[in-house]
Amino acid sequence: MNNMDLGYEMFCYQCEQTANGKGCTKIGVCGKTPEIANLQDLLIFQIKGISCYGKVLQNEGQHIDKNIIRFIENVLFTTLTNVNFDSKVHVELLNESQRIKENLRTITGEIHNQTSYATYDLPETKTQMLKDAQFAGIMYDKSLDPDIRSLRQTILYGLKGISAYGHQARELGYEQKAVADLLALLSLGIKGIYLGPTLPAFLSPNVLQYLVDTFDLRLITNAEDDIKTCLKQNI
Sequence-separated (6 or more) residues with CB below 8 Å from residue 41: 133, 136, 137, 138
State mean pLDDT over 214-235.
74
* Residue 177 in this model has a pLDDT that exceeds 70: no
Task: Round to whole Å and give the CA distance between 130 and 134.
Answer: 7
CB contact at 8 A, 136 and 45: yes
Measured over the CA atoms of residue 85, residue 195, residue 140 and residue 156, the dihedral's sign is: positive
Residue-wise pLDDT tens digits, 40-57: 999 999 999 999 999 999
Residues 117 and 62 sit within 8 Å (Cβ to Cβ): no
d(CA 194, CA 197): 9
Residue 135 burial (CB count, 10 A): 13
pLDDT bucket at 2, cuts 50 / 70 / 90: very low
pLDDT, tens digit, 9 for 90 and up, residues 55-67: 999 889 898 888 9
Asked whether residue 7 carries a pLDDT value surpassing 80, the answer given is no
